[in-house]
Amino acid sequence: MVAVLGGRGVLRLRLLLSALKPGIHVPRAGPAAAFGTSVTSAKVAVNGVQLHYQQTGEGDHAVLLLPGMLGSGETDFGPQLKNLNKKLFTVVAWDPRGYGHSRPPDRDFPADFFERDAKDAVDLMKALKFKKVSLLGWSDGGITALIAAAKYPSYIHKMVIWGANAYVTDEDSMIYEGIRDVSKWSERTRKPLEALYGYDYFARTCEKWVDGIRQFKHLPDGNICRHLLPRVQCPALIVHDEFNKLAEDFLQ
């Protein structure tokens, strides 16, 4: 079971704010291929869209990596694709629809976009013939992982999340508004996403993301997924630290 995650999502918001501060940056890796690891890339049809993913390792334990806002397997999980034990794990990093190389379609944010991502993620892993999976999710990917674990409990083995929140507060909403204009982000944070998307798509999608995440503030108690947390059955590790070794030990 997981405890209720505070709406402030302290780590998540600290990282979001860091985009505006040139002295602090959100670490985003380059492509996994830059590390010299054996990583395959492909697309598969899932729920009417072509979802892109990267895969490495040959272990019996399947692990899906879920990126944060505007992120992709390429930008968010290079170190994990390189360093997670490939004899123990088969590691898959996906690009949610509208993000990374899972385009078209353009990214949109209907009221159920987290639930849609959770279903896409589970259906992707089923399409890849994995019988059961563990989830590593950060930021929006952490929220997606929580929902997937709650709605598909028989399919989720274990879960590690960091920088996620279960509801949105007034303070959160103000902070989200503060990152709407990507021209104010630090160059170091902005550059990998500009390279991936081009400035126009990046800027437009960030604005849509802010509107999408702030819509939860209009729901009772700013709820995103708090009502689903009691349904999570798998072991869950909530991380606010360097996580590679912690995650690997937990998953074994």
Unique residue bearing structure tokens 């040959």: 58
pLDDT at position 53:
98
C-alpha to C-alpha distance for 18 and 138, rounded to whole angstroms? 16
User: What are the pLDDT digits (tens) for 104-125?
Assistant: 999 999 999 999 999 999 999 9
d(CA 215, CA 226): 15
Cis peptide before 104 (omega within 30 of 0): yes
Q: What is the pLDDT of residue 20?
A: 53
Is residue 164 scored above 50 in pLDDT? yes
Within 10 angstroms of residue 126's Cβ, the number of other Cβ atoms is: 14
Which two tokens mark 162?
């960091």
Q: How far is CA 129 from the centre of its chain?
A: 21
* Mean pLDDT of the residues in the chain: 87
Q: What's the rounded mean pLDDT across residues 2-26?
A: 46
Q: Which amino acid is at 155?
A: Y
Say what the pLDDT of residue 21 is: 44
The answer to whether residues 65 and 76 touch, using CB atoms and an 8 Å cutoff, is: yes
User: What would the pLDDT profile of 179-202 be if each residue is shown by its tens digit?
Assistant: 999 999 999 999 999 999 999 999
Q: Look up the pTM and report it.
A: 0.85
Measured from the Cβ of residue 197, the count of other Cβ atoms closer than 10 Å reads 21
Q: Where are the alpha helices (DSSP H) in 25-157?
A: 73-76, 78-83, 113-127, 140-151
H/E stretch holding 46? strand 40-46
How high is the pLDDT of residue 239?
81
CA distance 155 to 98: 25
Decide: residue 26, CB within 10 A, 0-12 exposed, 13-18 middle, 19+ buried. buried
pLDDT tier for residue 98 given thresholds of 50, 70 and 90: very high
Are 25 and 39 within 8 A, CB to CB? no
- Residue 94: which H helix or E strand, with range? strand 89-94
Residue showing tokens 């009691």:
230
Distances 67 to 94, 97, 138, 161 between C-alpha atoms, Å: 8, 12, 6, 11
pLDDT digits (tens, 9 = 90+) for 34-70: 333 599 999 999 999 999 999 999 999 999 999 999 9
* Three-state DSSP class for residue 134: strand
